[in-house]
């Protein structure tokens, strides 16, 4: 699982994604979550 941080409308936003089948030779990118930094990791665990 990877996290990319960026600013969107002056708010820090996080995008979580996974490379499948594995990071050395991915054939697809699975988007897992997008959201503001506040409570992001707690929501991701659920």
pLDDT per residue over 20-44, tens digit each?
998 888 899 999 988 887 778 787 7
Q: How confident is the model at residue 13 (pLDDT cuts 50, 70, 90)?
A: very high
In three-state form (DSSP H/G/I as H, E/B as E, the rest C), the secondary structure along the chain is CEEEEEEECCEEEEEEEEEECCCCCCCEEEEEEEEECCCHHHHHHC
Round to whole Å and give the CA distance between 16 and 22.
Answer: 15
Residue 23 or 4, more confident: 4
Q: How confident is the model at residue 4 (pLDDT cuts 50, 70, 90)?
A: very high
pTM of structure? 0.74
Q: Which tokens go with 43?
A: 């929501």
What pLDDT was estimated at residue 25?
A: 85
């Amino acid at each position: 699982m990877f996290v990319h941080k960026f600013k969107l409308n002056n708010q820090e936003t996080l995008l979580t994604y996974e490379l499948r089948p594995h990071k050395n030779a991915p054939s697809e990118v699975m988007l897992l979550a997008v959201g503001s930094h506040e409570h992001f990791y707690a929501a991701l665990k659920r």
